[in-house]
Structure 1
Amino acid sequence: MIPKPDPVFALIDCNSFYASCERVFRPDLRSTPIVVLSNNDGCVIARSADAKPFVKMGEPYFQIKQKLKQHGIVAFSSNYALYGDMSERVMTVIESLVPQVEIYSIDEAFADLSGVPGDLEQLGRQIRAQVYRSTGIPVGVGIAGTKTLSKLANHAAKKWQAQSGGVVDLRDQVKRDWVLKKCPASDVWGVGRRMTAHLEGLGIKSAWELSKADPWILRKRFSVVIEKTARELAGTPCLELDEPDPPKQEICCSRMFGKRLTDVVPIKEAVATYMARATEKLRAQQSLCKKIRVSIRTGFFNPDEAKYANGVIVELPYPTDDTRLMTRLAVEAVDRIYRTGFKYSKAEVLLLSLCQKGEYTEDLFSISQPAATEKVMGLMDAINGRWGRGTMRLASVPTKPDWGMRREMMSQSFTTRLDQLWTVSSR
C-alpha cells in the first residue's frame, strides 16, 4: 500500500487587494498611497501598505479628507464589479497551477499541495510570479503542514517581505519556531481581540506560547475552535480544504440610496434594480424561488427625521427564476408598504424558499414556469456576461439613477464594460 503523503497547505493572499486592483490600470499610482471607501463613500475599508501608517480602517471619509490631501493619499469609491472580476482572474490562475483549491474569500485561497513533488517554495514563487504576470495583482504565499500555520506563514511573508520575497515555507521546525516566537497570538488566524485578552490572562502572548499550551485546557476554558488552533500551530492538522459551498437558502440584495427618497417612483426603480441582481445570483446557483420579501425603511440615526420601516411577503405563482415576473410582483408590493411623508434611505429584496430545479414535486394541475422562460433568461445572462451587466435589462431598471450610491471617485469598469476598456495613447 502506498503511504499517504504528509499534508501540505498553501495560503495565497492578494496584497491590499482593492488598492492593488485600482493600481493595475493606473500605473501612475504605483508609488502613491491609496484608500478605498465603503458604500456611499462612507468610510475606509481598504488601504495600500503605504497608506496604513496614516489612515485607520473604518475612519469616516468626511473626517479625513484633509489628512489624505496632506499625505498625498488618493481615495477611490468601491468598484465591486472590478474587484470581483479581478478576483476571478486571480483564482483561475491559481487553479491552473495547483491540484486543489478552496477559495476562502475574494482575495485569498487555500491550496492543497500534499504529494506535490519538487521544491514547494519554488512553486510558491512560480504562483506569485504567474499571478502577477497574468493579472498585475501581487500576492503572498505561505506554505506549512496545517491551514493555520500556512495562514501565519502568509502573514510572515508579507511582514518580512524584503527577506522572504513574498514566500515563506514553515515546514522546517526551526523556521516555524522562529516565526511563532516573533508573532503575537493576535496574529493567529481566528484569534480575535477578545480571545487575545483571555489568552493573555493565562500568560499566553505569542503564537509559540499558544502552540505549547495544553489543548484540552483551552477546549475546556474556551472552545473546540481554539483547541484546534493550538494543535494546528503545533503541527497537527485538524482542518481540511472545505468543499464548495452549497447553494444559498436565501439571497439578499439591498443598498443605501445615495440620497433620501420621498417619492414612490424612484423607490420602485431601486427595487427593480435590486431584483435584477438578485435573480442573476439565483440563476447562477441554478435555483428557483417560491417567495419574495420586499422592504423599505428610513434612516434611524437622524433624530430630526421621522422613522418608518415595513416589509411584505410576496407568494410567487410557481417556483421561478424569471426576472420579469419577480420584478413585476416586487414593484407592485412597494405600493402596499409605501407611506407618504417619510424620507426613505434603503430598500431590500430578499429571495426566500429557494429550491434546486427538480427538487420540488409539481402538482399535476398547478401551473409551472414555462419552458420558454429558461431560454429567455439564459439568453439575457449570456448577453450580460459577454457585453457587461445591464446590457440587456428590464425597462424599469435605469442606467444612471439619481438615487444610486454616491461613488464620486469610482474608477472605470476596465474589465467588465466595453465602453470603459483601458485605452493606450501613442503620445
Structure 2
Amino acid sequence: MYAHVDINNCYVNCECLFDPSLIGKVVVILSNNDGCVISRSNEAKAKGIRMADAEFMVRRLLAECGAAVFSSNYALYASMSARLMNNLARYTYKLMVYSIDEAFLALADMLGIDLEKLAKTISENVMKFTGLPITVGIGPTMALAKLANKAAKKAGLPWLVLDTETRIAEAVENFPVEDVWGIGHAYYEKLKTYGIRTAHDFRELKADFVRQEMTVQGWRLHQELWGKPCNVIRDVADRSKGIESSQSFNSYQTELAPLEEAIAMHAATVALKLRQQKSMAMQLTIYLRTNKHNVKHDQHYPSLTVKISFAANSTHQLTLVAVQAVRAIFQPGYNYLKAGVRATGIIPEGEVQFNMFNTYEHSREQKLSELMDEMNSRYGRGTLRLAADSFERKWAMKQEFLSKQYTTDWKHIITTN
C-alpha cells in the first residue's frame, strides 16, 4: 500500500498559520514579481479567482472583496515543507518528497493494520505538530493513492482509503480522466477522441491498445489503476532531471554587471542543492531571457552549456563557470527579464572520477563550501557569500506584499507580550 499526502492550499495555509485573522477570508498568493495568482483560499475560489490569473486583471476584484494579497514567501514555505516531511517520515520506512507540498509514503504490506485509523492519525498528528491541514489518500499503487487524495478533496474529506476493488471501482467511476496523475494535455486530447472521459473509461481500454497509443508510460498508468504497482518510491533524489535556479527581474536589465550578480546567486543556489542531496554536476547550462510578451522589444534567448572539467558542487567552482558563461552569451542592446542556471549530468558524490593530472583542489573546495553552509545555517542564508553575488541585488524580483520570515529570521519570530 501507498499513501499520498499534500498540504491543502499550501501557500495560503502557511500564511494563515502565522496570521489566524486570515482564516475565512479571501487570500491569494502571487508568483515571482507578483505576476499572477499561484495559490488561493477556498473563499477566493468561490469569488471566481482562478489559478494563473494575472494580478492586474483581477486587481479590481481583489480590492472589491477585501482580499489579503501576498508575494510568494518561498523561505517560509520551504521551512514548513521540511517540518511536514519530518513528521511524515515517522509513518514510513521510505518517503519520497514529490514537491514542496506533497509526498508519497511506502506502507508495505499493511496486513492487520487499520488503514482508516492510520490515515486519521497522520492527518491529526500533522495538524497537531505543524498546524498545516493535509489530505491523505491511500491505495495499492502510487497512481491510486494520488487519485484517492484528489477524490477526497473533491468530496471534502480529510482522507480516503482505497483498499478494496469495490472502493477503487467507486472512486474511478466518475473521476475525470484529465485529473488522473500522468495524464497530460496531449494524452487527454488523444483519449477524448476515443470518447474516454473518466478513469473508469480509461481502465476499460485494452492494455495492448494503451501501450500502442500511449507508450510504456501510459501502459504503466493503466496497470496502476487496476491495482498493479509499476512505479517505485525512491528515497533518494531523482538525479536525471537536473537542478535549476532561475528568477525574473523586477525591471529590464541591459548591463552585464547585474546579470553576472544574478547568475552568481543562482550558481550558489544550485551548488547548495547539489551538496544537500550529496551530488555533483558535470555540466552547467546558463541562460538569459527577454520578455516574449513584449513585442515592442527585440527578442533574445541565449544559452550556453559548459562541461565542467571536474565534477563539482562547490559554490566557488560553479560560480566561476557560470559567470564566465554569461559573459560569453550576453549581448548589449537587449532588455533581459530572466536569468537562470541549470546543472545536469548529476552523479553521486561517491562516484566522482578523479584525475591525477587535474590541478583542481577538491578537498579544499569541499572544506570551503562546508564552512559556508555551516555559517549560513547558523546565522541565516546569505550571511556568507562570494563577492560576485552582490548584497544589494537591485535587480531582485518585485515582492511588494511579502510576509515576514517567521521561521527563518530571528527578527521575525512571533513573541508574546
Q: Report if TM-score (shorter chain) is over 0.5.
A: yes
Deviates more, 1:381-390 or 1:310-319: 310-319
What letter matches 1:26 in structure 2?
D
Structure 1: distance between partners of 2:285 and 2:335: 21
| TM-score under structure 1 length normalisation | 0.87
Alpha-carbon distance between aligned partners in 2 of 1:260 and 1:170, rounded to the nearest angstrom: 51
TM alignment of 1:79-118, pairs within 5 A: 79-116=73-110, 117-118=112-113
| 1:32 corresponds to 2:25 | yes
State the 1:200 CA deviation. Answer: 4.2
Q: Which residue of 1 aligns with 2:210?
A: 218
Further displaced range: 290-299 or 400-409: 290-299
1:105 aligned partner, one-letter code: S
CA shift, 1:26, in A, is: 1.4
Tell me what 2:391 maps to: 399
Deviations 1:381-423 (A, max 9, x none): 01212332102112332334221001111222222222322x2
CA contact (8 A) 2:33 2:398 kept: yes
Q: Pick the structure with greater CA Rg.
A: 1
Distance 2:345 2:371 in 1: 25
User: Which amino acid in structure 2 is aligned with residue 240 of structure 1?
Assistant: V
Partner of 1:270: 262
SS of residue in 2 equivalent to 1:411 = coil
Contact 1:293 1:349 in 2 (8 A): yes
Report how far residue 337 of structure 1 moved. 4.1
Cα distance in structure 2, aligned partners of 1:401 and 1:327: 16
Which amino acid counterpart does residue 38 of structure 1 have in structure 2?
S
Q: Distance in 2 between matches of 1:307 and 1:251?
A: 26
Structure 1 residues 149 and 288: CA distance shift in structure 2, 3 A: closer
Report how far residue 269 of structure 1 moved: 1.9
Cα distance in 2 for residues equivalent to 1:270 and 1:320: 20
Match 1:232 to one of 224, 230, 237: 224
Matches of 1:253 and 1:30, distance apart in 2: 32
Describe the shift of the 1:199–1:378 C-alpha distance in structure 2 as closer, same or farther (beyond 3 A): same
Q: Residue 241 of structure 1 aligns with which residue?
A: 233
CA distance in 2, matches of 1:123, 1:297: 48
In percent, how many aligned pairs have the same letter?
33
CA shift at 1:93, angstroms? Answer: 0.5
- Unpaired runs of 5+ residues, structure 2, are none
| 1:368-407 → structure 2 map (5 Å cutoff) | 368-369=360-361, 371-407=363-399
CA distance change for structure 1 residues 243 and 396 in 2, over 3 Å: closer, same or farther? closer
Q: Kindly tell me: are residues 242 and 346 of structure 1, through their superposed partners in 2, closer, same or farther at Cα, counting changes over 3 Å? A: same
Is 2:285 the partner of 1:285? Answer: no
Q: 1:290 to 1:102 in 2, by over 3 A?
A: closer
CA deviation after TM superposition for structure 1 residue 58, in Å: 1.3
Q: Which residue of 1 aligns with 2:134?
A: 139
- Which residue does the alignment assign to 1:202? 194
1:58 aligns to what SS in structure 2?
coil
Aligned length: 415
C-alpha offsets along residues 185-241 of structure 1, whole Å, 9 cap, x if unaligned? 333222344434443443433333333333333333433333333333333333332
The one-character-per-residue Cα deviations of 1:32-70 (angstroms, maximum 9, x if unpaired) are: 122222211111122222222311111111111011122
CA separation of 1:349/1:239 partners in 2, compared to 1, >3 Å: closer, same or farther? closer
Instruction: Give the distance between the partners of 2:347 and 2:150, measured in 1 at CA.
Output: 40
Within the candidate set 177, 180, 199, 2:172 is matched to: 180
Find the aligned partners of 1:262 and 1:357 in 2 and give their Cα distance: 38
1:181 Cα deviation from its structure 2 partner: 2.3
User: 1:75-118, CA deviations, whole angstroms, 9 ceiling, x for partnerless residues?
Assistant: 22112222222111111101112333222222222222233343
Aligned partner letter, 2:359: I
Change (3 A) 1:220 1:293: closer
Q: 1:411 aligned to 399, 403, 406, which one?
A: 403
Distance 1:184 1:314 in 2: 44
CA shift in 2, pair 1:222/1:331, >3 Å: closer
- RMSD between superposed Cα atoms in Å: 2.7
Residue 212 of structure 2 aligns to a residue in which SS? helix
Helix, strand or coil: the match of 1:51? Answer: helix
- 1:184 and 1:312 map into 2 onto residues whose CA distance is 42
Any conservation in 1 of the 2:172–2:199 contact (CA below 8 Å)? yes
Residues 316 and 365, structure 2, Cα contact 8 Å, conserved in 1: no
Answer whether contact 2:36 2:55 (CA < 8 A) is retained. yes
CA distance in 2: counterparts of 1:236 and 1:290, whole angstroms: 37
Gap runs ≥5 in structure 1: 1-7
Distance 1:10 1:291 in 2: 36
Structure 1 residues 51, 114: CA separation in 2 closer, same or farther (over 3 Å shift)? same
Aligned partners of 1:420, 1:269: CA distance in 2, in Å? 27
Q: Does the CA-based 8 Å contact 2:94-2:234 persist in structure 1?
A: no
User: Separation in 2 of the partners of 1:338 and 1:257?
Assistant: 16
The 8 Å contact of residues 13 and 108 in structure 1, kept in 2 or not, is answered as yes
> Which aligned pairs between 1:50-69 and structure 2 lie closer than 5 A?
50-53=43-46, 54-69=48-63
* Contact 1:294-1:311 at 8 Å conserved across structures: yes
